[in-house]
Amino acid sequence: MTEELVAGILAGQRRAIARAITLVENDGSEAQAILAAIHSHTGRAHIVGVTGPPGSGKSTLVNDLALSFRRGSAGHPPQTVGIIAIDPTSPFSGGAILGDRIRMRDLAGDPGIFIRSMASRGSLGGLAWATADTVRLLDAGGYDLVFVETVGAGQAEVDIAKTAHTTVVVEVPGLGDDIQAIKAGILEIADVFAVNKADHEGADHAVQVLQMMLDLNSPGPHAVMHHSRLIEVAAIAGQTADTPAWRPPIHKTVATRGEGIDGLVEAILAHRAYLERTGNLVWRERERAASELETIIQQEALRRVLAHTDGKQLAALIDQIARRELDPYAAGQLLLNQPSQAYRG
């Protein structure tokens, strides 16, 4: 079964890819086997994140961008496109309404496009747990470009920058003053800005505010802020005084009319070229691997500790913490330091 699915994915069979995504979402043991088998076939796709507030037009922009990349132009050949569109899971029922396909009608019937809607399932960073692995499946399935559209993001949903090579932040006119723009968070992760709904009043002001924010950024290390790991500054290949840092370009768009899309496409391609030229792509891949490995270790350590902890013992520890008889750090150490034989198997 697993081998059949893996062969299907690598052959680009849509049914196999769709089935595998479900397995990854449900986190079965088969998912791990599939992901292990395809790992060496990944790393080819360019991953583009699209994030921004709810209602800013992300889905419509992704629709337009996908059409443009499928068509290709003088500068770049047509590319196949995978799309992962994430919407929030209800914190009350655990259900979700995934409505991004409504805005992507133009893409129906094109075998070079694969769209998957995904519920966030409790993940808080703007993506779902399964997003990164789904990107890998589409990558292995042969899609040249993978768009990841986040849930409607506020200020702190910045996980997309860890998953994407190029992050497009979508803003709309009238969202706030220049103080909003110098706050930390989502604006810092942009590689490209789209000021969408540019036919609305205040579009030029929104562009100005973003320009001002970018002018205040110090040159050089800025690009490093993507992963909020300043410590890695010295380790970046190509990030030296003679390779100027990337300054995120700002493009005005009206997604519903397809205006400004060509500029946005050019900006995404230029950013990809920049990443390759400076060695930044390699560095980002490494950062991503580090962050993923960390997550895997955390989850697996938690799973093992819980699997070998007696439910009653756990409940007793929790009670002790709540009664202030034991501090949570000591309880954590206690569980982690159980006799090592408990972790075998």
Partner 1 sequence: MPDKKIRVLIAKPGLDGHDRGAKVIARALRDAGMEVIYTGIRQTPEMIAEAALQEDVDVVGLSILSGAHLALFPRIVSLLRENGLDDVLVVAGGIIPDEDVPALNDMGIGGVFGPGTPTDEIVDFIRGQVL
Which residues would be at the binding site for partner 1 (CB under 8 A)? Answer: 14-15, 18-19, 21-22, 25-27, 89-90, 93-99, 101-102, 105, 108-109, 114-117, 119, 121-122, 129-130
The nearest distance, CB 1 to partner 1, in angstroms, is 14
Q: Please work out, in degrees rounded to the nearest 5, the angle formed at the alpha carbon of residue 72 by the alpha carbons of 67 and 73.
A: 125
CB of 289 to partner 1, least distance (A): 21
Q: Which is nearer to partner 1, 89 or 239 (CB)?
A: 89
- Coil, helix or strand at residue 125: coil
Distance CA 148, CA 146 (A): 6
Q: How far apart are CA 112 and CA 101, in angstroms?
A: 16
Decide whether 64 or 133 has the Cβ nearer to partner 1: 133
Pick 128 or 168: Cβ nearer partner 1:
128
- Rounded-to-integer distance, Cα 281 and Cα 269, Å: 13
CB of 44 to partner 1, least distance (A): 21
Residue 253 CB contacts under 8 Å (≥ 6 apart), including other chains: 57, 61, 64, 194, 195, 196, 198, 259, 260, 261, 263, 264
Smallest distance from partner 1 to CB 228, Å: 25
Pick from 120, 139, 172: nearest CA to 43: 139
Closest distance of CB 298 from partner 1, Å: 12
Largest CA distance in the chain: 70
Q: In the complex, what is the shortest distance from the CB of residue 14 to partner 1, in angstroms, rounded to a whole number?
A: 6
Distance CA 255, CA 59 (A): 9
CA–CA distances in Å: residue 251 to residues 82, 197, 269, 271:
23, 11, 14, 14
Measured from the CB atom, is 67 or 264 closer to partner 1? 67
How many CB atoms within 10 Å of residue 4?
A: 11
Residue 263 CB, shortest distance to partner 1, in Å, is 29
Q: Residue 77 or residue 95: which is nearer to partner 1 going by CB?
A: 95
Helix (H) or strand (E) holding 10: helix 2-10
Distance CA 166, CA 168 (A): 7
Q: By C-beta, is 99 or 185 nearer to partner 1?
A: 99
